Amino acid sequence: MIKPNTISIKATGSYVPDHCVSNDDLTQWLDTSHDWINKRTGIHNRRLSMGENTSELCIKAGQNVLKGTSVDPEDIGLIIVATMTPDSQSPSVASQVQAHLKAANAMSFDLNAACSGFVYGLAVAEKMLRHMTLPYALVIGGEVMSKVVDWSDRSTAVLFGDGAGGVLLEKADAKEQFISEDLHTNGDKGHALVSGEKSVSNPLVKGENNLGQLSMDGREIFNFVTKAIPVSIQTVLDSAGRQMEEVDFILLHQANARIIEIMAKKLNCPLDKFPTNIEHYGNTSAASLPILIDELAKEKTILNGNKQTIILSAFGGGLTWGTLLLELN
Ligand code: ACO
């Protein structure tokens, strides 16, 4: 049914650095092996920035989103960049994207919900756009995780990669795409993933003031998300009055192929409904879902003009997690 003021995905885009680092490459400085990494995570390669910062990846992803559309950047009212690895605390990455895209009328801000950032960002943008006068919002997830990874810690260094992706949301008289959502935080478990820690240091208080490297209790997060995400997915289905059989694809945050296999089993859903690209990029945090969405859109698996029900679900530092059910058309 056509309704006024509905929000839909108009375009997608992504950008990853050229430099590809294989599991074997990592063995040059880490006590690890392709077999361990592949068996435990499904990762074969990751892209690492050779100097491009998060804003540069996000600007290129944003340009790729707009490429092929006739959208005037001045019609974009909102830019959200989901990232836990901004170039600086100020200016935000989003404000740099705003400048480079010449989106003169857009308000912009960064959103940090670690790997859940893109799902959070979409949920926020969709609601804000409904109340804006301009018709477009750009939501980007972008990370240079290689800046914060401790490259001597094999338990995390093998997992992460760099990249950016995004979608352009449009407000129009059309069919509603955003059907239901389920977003959460459990700050009690925040210690399970810490990155960029900064202690208080001023003339009155002596303290280290360096941005801390990433540390993660992978096992704790693994156990937590394999319980929480199936519940979250069932919640969006129930809220939308849909059955799992009606879902075409479940796009999960690309953190670990084993997590995806466990989800498929727990949800009693065939694995081929869970497209993956973790093999090529590793865990790119907030960039993981928009890169996957863009790849699937480019190959016309989704956003191909056919009616499809898809679920987006992500989890990460915070701990945060969130799921959206979209009906594409
Ligand atoms: N190479 C070889 N051996 C390794 C490596 C490595 N790269 N890393 C760890 N090991 C060893 C460990 O030392 C340990 O050895 P031990 O048994 O002799 O002590 C053994 O392998 C098992 O280690 P575990 O940490 O128990 O391995 P596990 O099966 O839990 O896999 C992993 C680790 C891949 C991190 C997994 O726990 C995971 O994927 N967790 C979820 C991570 C996640 O999703 N994070 C959220 C998103 S991140 C974000 O928000 C930014």
Question: Domain 6-172 in CATH: superfamily?
Answer: Thiolase/Chalcone synthase (3.40.47.10)
pLDDT at 210: 62
List the chain pLDDT tens, one digit each, 329 residues.
677 789 999 999 999 999 999 999 999 999 999 999 999 999 999 999 999 999 999 999 999 999 989 999 999 999 999 999 999 999 999 999 999 999 999 999 999 999 999 999 999 999 999 999 999 999 999 999 999 999 999 999 999 999 999 999 999 988 889 999 999 999 999 999 999 998 888 889 887 766 689 999 999 999 999 999 999 999 999 999 999 999 999 999 999 999 999 999 999 999 999 999 999 999 999 999 999 999 999 999 999 999 999 999 999 999 999 999 999 98
* Cβ–ligand 1 contact at 314 (below 6 Å): no
Instruction: Judge whether 158 and 281 are in contact, CB under 8 Å.
Output: no
Catalytically active residues, by annotation = 115, 253, 283
Contacts of 69 (CB under 8 A, 6+ apart): 10, 11, 168
- Give the CA-trace dihedral at 252, 142, 13, 313, to 10 degrees: 20
pLDDT at 209: 63
- What's the residue count for the chain? 329
* Cβ–ligand 1 contact at 77 (below 6 Å): no
Q: Give the distance from CA 51 to its chain's centroid.
A: 21
pLDDT at 138: 98
Ligand 1 atom nearest 316 alpha carbon: 50
pLDDT at 5: 82
- pTM (two decimals): 0.96
pLDDT at 212: 85
pLDDT at 298: 97
Containing 65, the helix (H) or strand (E) segment is helix 54-66
Extents of the domains making up the chain: 6-172, 178-327
Question: Domain 178-327 in CATH: superfamily?
Answer: Thiolase/Chalcone synthase (3.40.47.10)
Instruction: Judge whether 325 and 311 are in contact, CB under 8 Å.
Output: yes
Cα 49 to ligand 1 centroid, rounded to whole Å: 23
Cα 177 to ligand 1 centroid, rounded to whole Å: 37
* Cβ–ligand 1 contact at 224 (below 6 Å): no
Ligand 1 atom nearest 155 alpha carbon: 8
User: Same CATH topology for 6-172 and 178-327?
Assistant: yes
Cα 139 to ligand 1 centroid, rounded to whole Å: 31
Cα 191 to ligand 1 centroid, rounded to whole Å: 16
